[in-house]
Structure formats: C-alpha cells, structure tokens
Amino acid sequence: MLPVPARCDTVHCSRINKDQEEEAVFRDVVNFAPDPLPARYYDKDTTRPISFYLSTLEELLAWTPLMEDGFNVALEPLECRQPPLSSPRPRTLLCHDMMGGYLEDRFIQGSEVQNPYSFYHWQYIDIFVYFSHHTVTIPPVCWTNAAHRHGVCVLGTFITEWQEGGKLCEAFLAGDERSFQAVADRLVQIAQFFRFDGWLINIENSLSPAAVRNTPLFLQYLTRQLHQQVPGGLVLWYDSVVQSGQLKWQDELNEQNRVFFDSCDGFFTNYNWREDHLKRMVAQAGERLADVYVGIDVFARSNVVGGRFDTDKSLELIRKHGFSAALFAPGWVYECLEKNDFFQNQDKFWRLLERFLPTHSICSLPFVTSFCLGLGTRRVCYGKEQAVGPWYHPSAQETQPLFGEHKLAGGNRGWVKTHCCLVDAWHGGSSLLLRGLIPPEVDSVAVRLFSMHVPVPPKVFLSMVYKFEGSTDVQVALELTTGDASSCHVGGVLVLNETGTRYSPRPLRVPPTRLARWASSCGQQLSGGWIQRCYEVNLRGCLLQDLLVSFSRPPGSREEESFICRLGEIQVVDANSLLAPLPRVQNVTISQLRWLPLISGSEGLPTRLLLSCTLHWSYLLPRARCFRIHCWERTGSSSATEESPGTEKPEFLGLAFANQYRVVDLAVEAARFGQDGRVEFLVEPVPREGFLVPQAEWGRAVLLYSAPQ
C-alpha cells in the first residue's frame, strides 16, 4: 500500500462545508525557494513525474515504495482474454527496444511531441517486454496501462552485461541462497507494486562456477515467488550464458542451456538461427513448444532469416514448427523509415505478418473505446475541442480494433479498409477511418472490428458514434455475432443469416429515462457533425463473439457505392452497471508546491507566477477509466467560500491514470498585498462505462496564496 500523504504537506489547510459538500482549502505564502523533489521521480527542469529505472544492485535492494512511486502504478488491471496466455497455442512476444528506452514515454502525464512512436496492433500480441540496457528496466507505466487494456501482459528486463555485469552477478549469485533470494524478492515486489507481470532475465556476461550453479536456483525461486504474488506472472530467460558459465549464444534451446529453460516459464532464443535449429528444438521443447520464443531481430542485423519487411519469412518458419515468436525492435519502422509515413509503414509491416499471428479476444464488459491512439494534434472531449497542439500520452490509448482490409468472398469486388485517423476525433486525439466499396451485385459490406468472448448479461446497451465524409445515402449499422446458438435467446434484433448467429440490433428511438446520463444524445446530431446511435439487446444464455460494422446501399439503388466513414466511439455496456451509483472523489489535497516568477511588473515584483503542485485524492480505482484534471483561477478574493463562476468553463489541465496528479507550471496572477490569490482544482472521474459525471460530483480543493510579507 502507498503511504498516506500528510493532510497539509507544505501548506496550511482547513475544511469548510459548501452546499453540504466538504471542500479542502489550502493556504500558502508565495516563495521562490527551490523545492528539492527526488530526482529519480521528477524531470529536473519541469518537475513533471517520470518513469524510472534502477542502475545498480544497491539501488534495487534499497528500493522501498514512496509516495512518488504512486505515479508509476498502473491503473489498468490485466484484462482477461481468450484464449488465456496459458493455452498451448503459439504466442507472440514484442520486445520494445528503442534508442535506449525512456524517451517521451517516460513522461507519465504525457508530453507535447510531434510524430511520436505509437503501437496499436495489440490484438496480435500476447506479451510486451520493455527493454533497455539499464540493470533493472521497470516498464514505463503508460505501456503497462495500454497493454493491460488490450489483455497483453508486460515484462520488465533484468540485465547484466560486460565486465561490470560479471561483478554484479558475482555479488548476488556466487554466495549463499540469501543473496539471490533477496534480489528475487525485490524484483517480485517491484512487479507487484507497479502492477506489471514479470521479468525477462538477460545475463550477457560469463559466470563463475559458483554463480552459474546458483542461477537455476535463482530462476526457480524468482518464478515461484512471482507466481504466488502476481497472478499470471512470467519469468523468461534469454539465450546467452550456457551451463558451463561461458557467454555463448546458442540460437536455439539445447542441452547447453536447457537447465535455465527448465527453471522458469520460457526461453527467448538469440536471432541467428536457421531452420535446422528449429527442427532440433522440437524434440528439446517437448510439450513446451509454446514456451520457446524464437527471436527475430526486425533490424535484420548479423546473419538472420528475414527481418524488416521480410519478417514474415522468419515468422513462417517459426510457426511451421509450432514455436512462439519474439519480435525484437519492431520500432524499426519508426526509427529507420520516414516519420511522416509511419502509420502506413506500421500497417504494412503488421499486414505482412497477420496470417501468422493468431488474435485474442476481449472477454469482459463494459467495453468502451473511442479508438484514440494516445496522441493527436489536438484534444477533443465528446466532440468539443479542448486544446490545440500536439500531445502524446500512451496511457490514454483506447482499445484498438483489428486493422486491415476485408474483401467479400466469392469474387465480389466489395471491400472495407480500416485506418487510424488523426484528422478528426470524437473523443481524444483520433478516430477510426473506414473506406469501402459496395458493388452493384451485393446489398452491403461489413468489417469485423473486435473479436470478443463475453458471456452477456440479460440486457445490454450498445452505442456507436460516427459520421460520413461528404454526402452519401449509404447506411451504417452495428452488428454482432453470438455463440452457443442452441441455448441463446436474443430479443430486440434482426437476424441476418440462416444460422441465426449474426444480428443487427434495432436502434433505440427514445432512450430509457433512467439511462439519460449515458444515452441522452441517442439519434441526435452532435458537435462536429457526429451522430450517436444507441441499441438495446435482450440476451439469455449467449456468448458475444464479434462486433462488426456494416454499410448498406440505399433502398432501390443498384449503383456502385463508395463511402468514407469515421467511427468516433463504440460502447457495449451491461444495463445494470449503468444504474449503480458511482463513488465520489474525496479528500483532495495539495502539496509539494513550487513557485516561479513569470512576468515582472513596473516595480520589479512579479505580476504573473508559475505554480507547480501535487494533487492527491481518494477514489475506488477499479471504477475509473481515468481522471480529467481542471482548474479555475480567481484573483483578488479574500473569501474561501466565494462561488466559482457558474457560466465559465474550468481550464483543462490533463489526464491522470492514478489517484494523484502533478500540476506543472500553471500560470496564475500574483496575489496583491492584503488580498489572496485563489486557484480551485477539480478532479473529474471518468467511469469505465464512458459517460460524463456532473460537475457537482467532482472532487475539488482550493489553494489560497498570498504575497510574501
């Protein structure tokens, strides 16, 4: 558990009742003394919270959770998925190695950057490894949030290299069991605390006889402890050291390194293999074929099969023999190719691989996505522009669909293609662009966006927000397929096929009044030309399997119809969950203030200030997708109880994916002598069901500040 913050850390505080609502009021006298925040957790120039790594064994053993560590705790639990990771089918591991790591992704609350790297083909991926050459690579929390949202587990990296790595290994592996158990215990505690799922162990230096003798015992202990503390946790070993202690990459699993494979959950081979290596490994792996992750260097360095846009050649051989695959550094498409063509190149890379990449399915509700990539050229909140300018915040990435092209069977010319679209958004920074063609010989075309495996509650509400580009009479509809057809009873839908497993829900014309907060705009033209369509489906004994979007020609038309449609949001929500009362944001506190002069007046005194501070609050985190942080500034107020303006909108500051947020360099008016300056901070919870919470239910705290005497 995180330590509880002091109620009044660096400022005096009091509490008042305002309209029967408790409000925290904090007071501070402006001063420009430096506030020494721990360098590990904050950017030294801006005090923005950052993700971090540990460089030495001493740092690892000395780590204990501090309040600042709370910024790095993943909000998103690992979503369940089908098939589970433990199934025997071959898996796909992505090892993210990019320019040393901890780049723009280290900024926990996001950053302003043009053309950042983004990964969004999550449905093909089972395991995500964040790799760097620091001793203990703790995955930046933004990657854990994004991966977990897609049912993908996340591993950090424990690496030792070269002469220094040899010394480090001697220090904890060559002694008695207490030494290596202390290291393993700390690695487990770190994974458990930050809520990621395990470790890739990469020993790339030779080991003494004593150290290599203890290495399997270290792996066994680490794996056993991790399984106890982190459900579904994994420990993988990289093909490097052999059982003699020599550093000698094998490019395969064999008798020289098998002892390490037998001591943990999986084996990640080096990259210079040939098909003969794969053939030999089949017997070595036995029933654990899927636990062997055959390495593919996407950069195609050294003597490898495939790589780059020929990575499919590597993958074809790996799948031929039934192994899992480990794609190392697929950020090649970003690092080495033209940044302006990144999305096209990324889609091309994964499209070439998709026939060898089994997907996994979503298996829980609520399911809500705005298709946001966690980046954009502006921020949009439910059709209304919130801020203009580039931004990058991978924690804000919503669940991504299956990308690609769907063509009609039987030689028909109809097709639908899906793309990311940064040009327009309903919510966040991007939407999903669907382009397609309906040929004269068919009435409609459809594309599957999400594979699902959800036991459906009796009543489900669905919503789709969309808009067409240009004028068209083409109709768009949400469709679904169900399993367990023999026992499945469906109401409120039209059956679309003879087997009775694909349905088109009937749109709601008048949403139920009890669901007004969720579906108040159904059937209406919304901001920015978007349209929301809502559906109610009654199900019994059904398994929801697919979500599709179909496009049909206008009645009576036999012409070829082309269309361009943007999807802004899809929601699938258990009706009962929409009736449950939401928890409230409580106990908002303000601490760790930093003041900087911004603009000086005629007498040399500042007229504008920059304020940085940390907000904490209490909330039942499993109920939140995130929090939106806002502020109101009032100047010249001597009363803490003065009403906030009812017509003005508060200023949006950013998103939080924890119960704390660092306000950084907020420009405020300097307080005049004898008068308080006033800033009110508001914490807006965003429910997992995806609707707006009234402002009266937000958390808030007031900061009153005075000029130095």
Mean pLDDT, rounded, for 556-582: 90
According to the model, what pLDDT value does residue 641 have?
42
pLDDT band of 494, cuts 50, 70, 90: low
Q: What would the mean pLDDT of 263-285 be, rounded to a whole number?
A: 97
Question: What is the predicted pLDDT for the residue at 518?
Answer: 67
What is the Cα 453 distance to its own chain's centre?
21
pLDDT tens digits, 347-375 = 999 999 999 999 999 999 999 999 999 99
Q: For position 606, what pLDDT does the model report?
A: 80
Instruction: Compute the average pLDDT of residues 82-104.
Output: 95
Distance CA 621, CA 626 (A): 9
What's the pLDDT score for residue 688?
92
Give the whole-angstrom CA distance, residue 436 versus residue 476. Answer: 12
Q: What percent of the chain has pLDDT over 90?
A: 74
CA angle 165, 168, 174 (to 5 degrees): 120
Distance (Å, whole) CA 422 – CA 340: 13
Q: Looking at residue 582, what is its pLDDT?
A: 87
* pLDDT band (50, 70, 90) for residue 555: confident
> What are the structure tokens assigned to 557, written together?
């038309």
Dihedral pair phi/psi, residue 495, rounded to 5°: -80, 130
The dihedral built from the CA positions of residue 631, 635, 640 and 644, taken in this order, carries a sign that is negative
Query: CA-CA distance, 430 to 395, in Å (whole number)?
Result: 14
> What is the spatial distance between Cα 598 and Cα 85, in angstroms, rounded to a whole number?
53
Calculate mean pLDDT across residues 126-137. 98
Among the residue ranges 274-278, 335-339, 399-403, 688-692, the one predicted with the least confidence is: 688-692
Q: Is the pLDDT of residue 678 over 70?
A: yes
**What pLDDT score was predicted for residue 408?**
83
What's the rounded Cα separation, in Å, for the pair 521 and 468? 18
pLDDT of residue 639: 43
Cross-strand pairs, 23: 16
Whole-Å CA distances, 341 to 117, 179, 184, 338, 672: 12, 50, 43, 5, 52
Per-residue pLDDT at 552:
94
Residue 601 above 80 pLDDT?
no
What are the φ/ψ torsions at residue 624 (nearest 5 degrees)? Answer: -110, 140
pLDDT tens-digit profile of 213-229? 999 999 999 999 999 99
In degrees and rounded to multiples of 5, residue 67 shows phi and psi of: -55, -40
Tokens of 558: 């036999």
pLDDT of residue 509: 74
The residue written with tokens 């080991």 in the block is 207
CA atoms within 13 A on the CB side of 89: 13
Q: Is the pTM of this model over 0.85?
A: yes
Q: What is the tens place of the pLDDT at every residue in 515-531?
A: 666 666 777 788 888 99
The residue-averaged pLDDT of 466-495 equals 80
Q: What pLDDT sits at residue 528?
A: 87
The yes-or-no verdict on residue 62 having pLDDT over 80 is yes
> Predicted confidence band at 508 (pLDDT cuts at 50, 70, 90)?
confident
Instruction: Tell me which H or E stretch contains 618.
Output: strand 606-618
Choose between 344 and 604: higher pLDDT: 344
pLDDT in tens, 169-203: 999 999 999 999 999 999 999 999 999 999 999 99
Q: How many Cβ atoms sit within 10 Å of the Cβ of residue 194?
A: 21
pLDDT in the model for residue 45: 87
Q: What's the mean pLDDT when you consider all of the chain?
A: 90
**Worst-scoring range by mean pLDDT, 31-40, 98-107, 406-415?**
406-415
> Residue 595 has what pLDDT?
94
**pLDDT in the model for residue 19:** 45
Residue 146: its H or E element: helix 141-149
- What integer pLDDT is reported at residue 405 of this predicted model? 87
Higher pLDDT, 507 or 201: 201
pLDDT of residue 498: 45
Q: Could you tell me whether strands 586-600 and 606-618 are parallel, antiparallel, or unpaired per DSSP bridges?
A: antiparallel
Of all residues in the chain, the percent with pLDDT exceeding 70 is 90
pLDDT recorded at residue 4: 33
Q: What is the pLDDT of residues 621-653, one digit of tens each?
A: 999 999 999 999 865 444 444 444 445 789 999
Between the alpha carbon of residue 262 and those of residues 149, 253, 283, 572, 615, the distances in Å are 31, 11, 14, 43, 47
The confidence score (pLDDT) of residue 637 equals 44
State yes or no: pLDDT of 211 exceeds 50: yes
Tell me the pLDDT band of 504, cut-offs 50, 70 and 90: confident
